[in-house]
Amino acid sequence: MVTEVKNGKQILYRCDVCGMFYREREWAEKCQAWCETHEGTCNVEYIQHAVDPSDQNQSQGGALIRSAV
């Protein structure tokens, strides 16, 4: 299960395995499923949708960040 995180006025979803943040729950769930079955690897398709939770003014494209877990 992914974690829902309030970030200012928006809600982000965090993969509980790798700590990546996403605007859409669907991408966080896909990321978490990948992480649980492919330990130590990232799926480029999924992380392209990752966002920086500290950037309040991000564009819709997403800015890649890996949080400290």
pLDDT at 33: 97
pTM over 0.85: no
The span from the CA of 56 to the CA of 29, in Å, is 22
Question: Which pLDDT does position 63 carry in this prediction?
Answer: 45
Q: CA-CA distances (angstroms) from residue 10 to 6, 29, 37?
A: 6, 18, 29
Per-residue pLDDT tens digits of the chain, which is 69 residues long: 899 999 888 999 999 999 999 999 999 999 999 999 999 899 999 999 999 988 765 554 444 444 444
pLDDT of residue 57: 58
Which strands make up the sheet holding 50-51, listed edge to edge? 3-7, 10-14, 21-22, 50-51
